[in-house]
Amino acid sequence: MDASLIKTSEMAFAEMLAECGVELVQIRNKKASSRDLLQISARLSTFFKRQGVRLIVNDRPDLALLADAGGVHVGQNDVDVEVAREVCGSDRWVGISTHSLEQVRRANATSADYIAIGPIFPTSTKEDLEPVLGVECIRAARRLTSKPLVAIGGMTLDRVPEVFQAGADSVAVARDLICATDPRRRTQEFVQVTSESRRETL
């Protein structure tokens, strides 16, 4: 959930995601104050727990702990994985973004619960974008780690089967879902194609 893209309230969007069967949601709001991000994260965490959905807070292990969220996601310029885990607790997930195979190797040596890799395709969601890696990088990363791999960057419906076949365990979607003409329908389509792609790779 990128707050800069959502056209409704964050809670209304969260309710839609849960109704459509989404299992994992990351809250991202680079412009919010710590107080505001904590408040919305706490509300979302309480709601998602009732729905059986795990909430991941972007960048801030301290807020993940205070909001009682399901985990935190850190980038290469954020706190280290082990520091994040020490802050937010061992019972929460810690994920990390990687943008090269060397970063995947280093992430594999940590206690990270999952590794995100990308951008796999061109994307305009983030500023200061890293170079596009391509699907072949997922195949190479798959050989380097047994941790769950999340493909990030430029994810669209038609690209989901390809990244699963390359070795991804999941996909992170922002713009193609949030900015769709009908976000509810697009979410349902993503849930369906992801489930199908996962079954085909088992």
CB of 112 closer than 8 Å to CB of 81: yes
Question: Which residues, including other chains, have CB under 8 Å from residue 122's CB and lie 6 or more apart?
Answer: 132, 153, 154
Task: Please tell me which residue in 97, 159, 170, 186 is annotated as part of the active site.
Answer: 97
Q: Residue 199 catalytic?
A: no
Q: Residue 50 catalytic?
A: no
Q: Residue 126 catalytic?
A: yes
| 6 three-state secondary structure | coil
Q: How would you write 121-176 as a 3-class SS string?
A: CCCCCCCCCCCCCCHHHHHHHHCCCCCCEEECCCCCHHHHHHHHHHCCCEECCCHH
Task: Please tell me which residue in 28, 60, 92, 186 is annotated as part of the active site.
Answer: 28
Task: Please tell me which residue in 54, 85, 92, 126 is annotated as part of the active site.
Answer: 126
Active site (catalytic) residues: 28, 97, 126
